Structure 1
Amino acid sequence: MDNQSCVKIVTEWDIVAARQLGRNVAKELGFGTVDQARITTAISELARNIYLYAGQGEMRIERISDLGKNGLKIIAIDNGPGIPDIRKVMEDGFSTSGGLGAGLPGVKRLMDEFDITSIVGEGTDIQAVKWLR
């Protein structure tokens, strides 16, 4: 398998496919079951956001290594409406979909690194990393 795998998010089934891919890559890298669950939850949340807010986009799962550490990077990219106020969506409990609002703050907590770039009218790019302990 190469360093990066990609799942296009167009239907709800693609969210399931992205989760499965993430779990498989996490398992192959040697993540334990707890971290596998964290990673698949983060993927699920990001893929669901693409599906709900952008209509379509893609999830990339990448194997990474840095200074002898290995990890997994999740990249969620869409060309949707963008996020007008990133600070607001990063507040706990904020939800526009009527969900639990664990959303992006939840993803940030589940992962070791989290970065979000969004341009209104152009789309959103979210990258999250989990390092193998």
Structure 2
Amino acid sequence: MELVFRQHIRTEMDLHLTIHKTSNLLKDLGFPTIAVAKLSTSVSELGYNILKYAKEGYFNVEKINYPRLGVRVVAIDQGPGIEDIEAALQDSFSTSGTLGLGLPGVRRMMDEFNIKSEFGKGTEVSIVIYKS
């Protein structure tokens, strides 16, 4: 894997810049429009979770060359963490009064989805989308 960029997330503007940069990366690599939309939506969801729950964090965006072309995005924060990951991955689960579709939706849209969280210490979500 090759690190393409790292973006610190403190504000919505930082998040919008990340969405823009990841979208352009996929377009430059020849990904279909639907893949660009899926990754943009996923980065948005993960970024808003960072801003809402941790106040700040960062994204690492990596290009995957082998075994096939893809992009990996890792969202990392040192926020409160997720107490019950299994519950958080169920549709309609929310600790903040939202629809609770963010993480489950991201998991459905991506080719790979991994989450690690330690309650009280932070969360790391890794997503991968491959070129079809």
TM-score tier after normalising by the smaller chain length: over 0.9
CA separation in 1, counterparts of 2:100 and 2:65?
31
Greater alpha carbon shift after TM alignment, 94-103 vs 23-32: 94-103
Structure 1 spans left out of the alignment, 5+ residues: none
Following TM superposition, by how much is the alpha carbon of 1:13 offset from its aligned partner in structure 2, in angstroms?
1.2
Following TM superposition, by how much is the alpha carbon of 1:41 offset from its aligned partner in structure 2, in angstroms?
0.2
Alignment-derived partner of residue 27 in structure 1 = 27
Q: What is the DSSP-based 3-state SS (H/G/I as helix, E as strand, rest coil) of the residue aligned with 1:72?
A: strand
1:3 aligns with 2:3: yes
Alignment-derived partner of residue 62 in structure 2 = 62
The residue identity in structure 1 corresponding to 2:16 is: V
Partners of 1:3 and 1:64 within 8 A in 2: no
CA separation in 2, counterparts of 1:15 and 1:99?
19
Could you give the per-residue CA deviations for residues 76-99 of structure 1, whole angstroms, max 9, x where no partner exists?
000111111000100011122332
CA separation in 2, counterparts of 1:97 and 1:76?
20
CA separation in 2, counterparts of 1:55 and 1:26?
27
Following TM superposition, by how much is the alpha carbon of 1:70 offset from its aligned partner in structure 2, in angstroms?
0.4
The normalised TM-score by structure 2 is 0.94
Alignment-derived partner of residue 43 in structure 2 = 43
The normalised TM-score by structure 1 is 0.93
Alignment-derived partner of residue 132 in structure 1 = 131
The residue identity in structure 2 corresponding to 1:70 is: L
Partners of 1:77 and 1:124 within 8 A in 2: yes
Alignment-derived partner of residue 88 in structure 1 = 87
Count residues with an aligned counterpart: 131
Q: What is the DSSP-based 3-state SS (H/G/I as helix, E as strand, rest coil) of the residue aligned with 1:75?
A: strand
Alignment-derived partner of residue 117 in structure 2 = 118
Following TM superposition, by how much is the alpha carbon of 1:59 offset from its aligned partner in structure 2, in angstroms?
1.2
Cα RMSD for the two superposed structures: 1.1
Following TM superposition, by how much is the alpha carbon of 1:47 offset from its aligned partner in structure 2, in angstroms?
0.5
Q: What is the DSSP-based 3-state SS (H/G/I as helix, E as strand, rest coil) of the residue aligned with 1:106?
A: helix
User: Which portions of structure 1, spanning 4 or more consecutive aligned residues, are displaced by more than 2 angstroms?
Assistant: 96-100
Partners of 1:58 and 1:76 within 8 A in 2: yes
Following TM superposition, by how much is the alpha carbon of 1:122 offset from its aligned partner in structure 2, in angstroms?
1.3
The residue identity in structure 1 corresponding to 2:87 is: K
Following TM superposition, by how much is the alpha carbon of 1:12 offset from its aligned partner in structure 2, in angstroms?
1.4
Structure 2 spans left out of the alignment, 5+ residues: none
